[in-house]
Structure 1
Amino acid sequence: MELIITGALPPASVADETARHLANAAPLLQRLFEHAVAQVHLADPDQTGCTAYEAWLLGQHRFVPDPAQTLCAGLAPILAPGGPADEPVWLFQLAHFGLSQSGAHMLTADDIVVTEQESLALYESAADIFTDTPFVLKVHTPQGWTVGVPDGFTLPSRSPSLIAGADLSHVWPQDDAVKPLRRLLSELQIAWHHHPVNEIRRQSRMPVINGGWLFGGARPEQLSAPERALPFVLRALEAAHRQHQWGHWLAQLPGVEQELTQQLDAALRPELSGNPVTRPVKLILTGTDRWVTLTLEPTPALLKWLPGKRKQWKQWWSQ
């Protein structure tokens, strides 16, 4: 069994505080932490341009970036597969841009719960706007819109999940090459201000969809298919982790533990022949700048909730 829990590793600033609540909020998780062999993998977002989970995912696809590309460039062909192998894939994901005391910020399509119907309606309204720009609106996909960019266009690729909630003045390029993109985004913001989609969202007191984030640039031929099936992904902690809402993060832990219990029960159940399971159990926990792989051998002790020698799990938890 292999399972990944995104947003499961708090940053060092709150690691000790969250650890004190684990015994009550997620006793099974803490027990697993105490008995697993841990391996820490660093993933500096300033270098990768993406979250630790996305860096792990790109590793599974064995993405090899070009010299001028960040690791994040490979996300677009993963999220929007099926294009020509030798053509760069750029993905435009809808978002909400706003102002707060900390500066300009962005909320992702997942954060503001953009429906497929809303995305399609805005996609159709954007077609005319793209016509008068050097960008080409291509295909609508569940993960975003694929976009053709002008020759020579460069953009340091950063994933929406990474920059959401950050001060955009520190991540948005200011050079002349990006001016056409900034102009396009401004035109979309104006056109969508009174769009029926946003009028309905205002009435429902939901954040309006007033722009999007462009990222990617890698070619499908730079990636390979994963060598084995990707693990089950638990994402319940991801939004609270990204938004630094640690009270909400703790409140989500019992639900995560319930799902984890079900997955473990299925994975550790003896095979139909009656033979015990012999494959190790692996949990992958992701945070802001690292992920940790926890390995547990499927011994009878594991089935009895792991009695025995405990490991110093807080050494990697608080790293």
Structure 2
Amino acid sequence: MQIVLPGALPDPREARELTPHMLKTAPTLGRWLEHSRATVTQASPGVSGCTPYERWQLASRGFVPRREQNFCAGLGPLWGAGQTAAGAPGVPVWLAELVHVSPSREGARLLAARQLDITPDESVALFAAAHSAFEGSGFQASQLATEHWRITIESDFSPVCASPRLVSLSSVNEWWPQDAAARPWRKLVNELQMTWFEHPVNLARQERGLPPVNSLWLFGGARPEQFPAMQEKEAAQVHEALLEPMLAHDWGAWLQALGELETRVLRPLANIKPALVLIGSDKYVELKSRGRLAGLLPGGRISWRNWWSPRD
């Protein structure tokens, strides 16, 4: 059994201050940390082009990016798996996510599809309206799911992208392609924004107080064969209750969510000692039990603090 906890790794300085509160709030987790062997993986979003949780998902399935790719490239075939076209060997899988983009102090802000509550009917209507914009653009689109479209690129355009989730946590300007090769894609997105501006779907969403779906975000580009371990594996239990408090640096809410996880998830598994994956803002740590004797070795009970709250 494997339990994955996105948001479970505060930044080092905050982690040091939170340590006694964490141990009091989640004693089961504290004992697991003392008796586990840790593997730390650095997962800088600026390098990988995706969140540490997304990077772990890709790495756990054996994805290996090519020299010209970042880890975000693998999200195409990962999220397109199970679709016949998306799984064709040798064919790069590009996806576009339905998003909302609006002005901000940093230039532009993006809301990912998971933040928009898009319905299947809305997605179908927006796709139908986009047909004319794609004609002669050098791109083709097919519906993959409510939130994602499959994009076929007719040229050799192959941008290094960022995941919509990562962009939603930073700024569009940091990731929006500005080079000449991306001009056709920028033109297409501009035409879609004009097409959807007063679309009935968005007018109805605004009446309900919801942000309009007014843009697409392109990402992916890897091929299915870059997943040598794409075979079925035991599904991990993912609990995201810590993620939003960590991103907001709301440590009171973080400790409250941790206490609820202790009661509902961790304590009932105290004797099972599942494998753990703790995920932070720029790394993740995989933990496997070393047995009770490990805690009796010199420094064994405190060695976890070296990665939990490292000092520069």
- Could you tell me whether the CA contact under 8 Å between 1:281 and 1:297 is conserved in 2? no
Q: Partner amino acid for 2:275? A: K
Which residue of 170, 189, 192 corresponds with 1:188? 192
The residue number in structure 2 matching 1:118 is 122
Q: Partner amino acid for 2:208? A: S
- Could you tell me whether the CA contact under 8 Å between 1:60 and 1:226 is conserved in 2? no
The residue number in structure 2 matching 1:289 is 282
The residue number in structure 2 matching 1:5 is 5
Indicate yes or no: 2:206 matched with 1:206: no
TM-score (norm: length of structure 2): 0.84
DSSP-derived class of the 1:214 partner:
strand
TM superposition shift of 1:282: 0.7
- Could you tell me whether the CA contact under 8 Å between 2:37 and 2:290 is conserved in 1? no
DSSP-derived class of the 2:8 partner:
coil
DSSP-derived class of the 1:124 partner:
helix
Which residue of 97, 100, 106 corresponds with 2:110? 106
The residue number in structure 2 matching 1:94 is 98
Closer/same/farther in 2, CA of residues 237 and 117 from structure 1, 3 Å limit: farther
Q: Deviations over 1:226-277 (max 9, x none)?
A: 4732322222333444555555544433443344237627x83xxxxxxxxx
Q: Partner amino acid for 1:168? A: V
DSSP-derived class of the 2:144 partner:
strand
Q: Which moved more, 1:135-144 or 1:215-224?
A: 135-144
TM superposition shift of 1:75: 1.1
Question: What percentage of aligned pairs have identical amino acids?
Answer: 37
* Mapping for residues 259-274 of structure 1, pairs under 5 Å: 259-261=264-266, 264=269, 268=272
- Could you tell me whether the CA contact under 8 Å between 1:5 and 1:286 is conserved in 2? yes
Q: Partner amino acid for 2:224? A: P
Closer/same/farther in 2, CA of residues 142 and 310 from structure 1, 3 Å limit: farther
- Could you tell me whether the CA contact under 8 Å between 2:25 and 2:259 is conserved in 1? yes
- What is the CA–CA distance in structure 2 between the aligned matches of 1:204 and 1:66, rounded to whole Å? 44
TM superposition shift of 1:149: 1.0
Structure 2 unmatched runs, 5+: 293-299
Structure 1 unmatched runs, 5+: 269-279, 300-308
Indicate yes or no: 2:54 matched with 1:61: no
- Could you tell me whether the CA contact under 8 Å between 1:15 and 1:318 is conserved in 2? yes
Q: Alignment length, in residue pairs?
A: 301
The residue number in structure 2 matching 1:233 is 238
- What is the CA–CA distance in structure 1 between the aligned matches of 2:249 and 2:113, rounded to whole Å? 18
RMSD over equivalenced CA pairs, Å: 2.9
Q: Which moved more, 1:221-230 or 1:79-88?
A: 221-230
Q: Which moved more, 1:208-217 or 1:160-169?
A: 160-169
TM superposition shift of 1:207: 2.2
TM-score (norm: length of structure 1): 0.82
- What is the CA–CA distance in structure 2 between the aligned matches of 1:28 and 1:64, rounded to whole Å? 35
